[in-house]
Homo-oligomer: A and B are copies of this chain.
Amino acid sequence: MEQQTQGEGFSPDTAATRLHRELRTRLCEGDFAPGDLISIRRIATEYGTSAMPAREAVRWLVTEGALVFSDSRKIRVPELNRERFHEVLFARKSLETEVSRQAFPRLTAADLVELEGIDARINAAIEAGDMQAYMRGNHRFHFLIYRRSRSRVLLPLVELLWLQYGPSMRQIGTRWGASRIADDHHRDVTHALSRGDREGFCNAIAADIEQGMRLLE
C-alpha cells in the first residue's frame, strides 16, 4: 500500500482541469440557470483557450450529471422536475449528515468563527435579496464543514449532488423570492457546534436540507 498522497482527486494542472473546476464552482454557486445552453466553442472563446480543453471540461460535467444532452448535439444545464430535485435533496440529507458527523470532531474554534461570519453574510444577502450571494455563501458554509471530514470518498459524492442542486435551487430561490429561504438552520448549526453537541449539529444540518424540501410544496 504505497504513499497514496494524492488520493483520487488529483489531476495535473492543465487547461481542461482549470476550466472544469471553474465551471463546477460556478454551477454549485448558481451562476447558471436550468435550461441554459452550453456550447463548447463558446466556452472556449469565452475563456481564451482552444476548443479542446473546453470540450473536455464540458464532457466531464456531462458524465458528472451537471450538464445533460437535451436534443442531439445540444448541451444544457438540466431542469430538475420536482421528483428529481427531491431525490437530490434526499440524497444530500443522507450523505451530508454522515459527512457532518465525521467532520464534527475536526472543526476548530477558528472554523466556528468563520462559519458565523459566513452566516452573517448569508443573512445580509437574504435581506438584500441577492440570490447569487446567498448561493455562494450557502455553498461555502456547508463545504467549510464537509472539507473537515477529510473523506476522499463521500465528499466527492456530495459535490456531485451540489452540481445538480445549484442551478435548480437558484431558480427556485429567484422565482419565489428570498423570504421563503430566510429560515435556514445555519444558526442552529453554529450553536450546536459551540455547545459541542454532535448530534444536534448533525440534526441541524439535516433540518437545513429538509427545509429545502419543504420549498417544493
Indicate if A177 sits at the interface (CB-CB under 8 A): no
B8 lies within 8 A of A91 (CB): no
CB distance from A65 to the nearest CB of B (A): 4
A63 lies within 8 A of B65 (CB): no
B161 lies within 8 A of A153 (CB): yes
Complex contacts, A151 vs chain B, CB 8 Å: 87
Closest-by-CB residue of B relative to A153 is B87
Complex contacts, A48 vs chain B, CB 8 Å: none
| Interface positions of A from 70 to 89, Cβ below 8 Å from B | 72-73, 78-82, 84, 87-88
Known: A11-B69, A91-B157, A164-B153. A59 touches B60 (CB 8 A): yes
- How many angstroms between the C-alpha atoms of A81 and B59 in the bound complex? 30
Indicate if A152 sits at the interface (CB-CB under 8 A): yes
Closest-by-CB residue of B relative to A56 is B59
Known: A56-B56, A98-B94. A68 touches B153 (CB 8 A): no
Indicate if A2 sits at the interface (CB-CB under 8 A): yes
CB distance from A52 to the nearest CB of B (A): 10
Complex contacts, A81 vs chain B, CB 8 Å: 1-2, 4
B94 lies within 8 A of A94 (CB): yes
Contact partner of A154 (CB less than 8 A), chosen from B11, B12, B91, is B91
Closest-by-CB residue of B relative to A151 is B87
Complex contacts, A6 vs chain B, CB 8 Å: 68-69
Contact partner of A63 (CB less than 8 A), chosen from B4, B60, B79, is B60
Indicate if A64 sits at the interface (CB-CB under 8 A): yes
B154 lies within 8 A of A7 (CB): no
Instruction: Give the interface of A toward B (CB within 8 A).
Output: 1-2, 4, 6-12, 16, 20, 56, 59-60, 62-65, 68-69, 72-73, 78-82, 84, 87-88, 90-91, 94-95, 98, 151-154, 156-157, 160-161, 164
* A to B CB contacts below 8 Å, 7 in the list: A1-B82, A11-B62, A11-B63, A20-B63, A63-B63, A84-B153, A88-B153
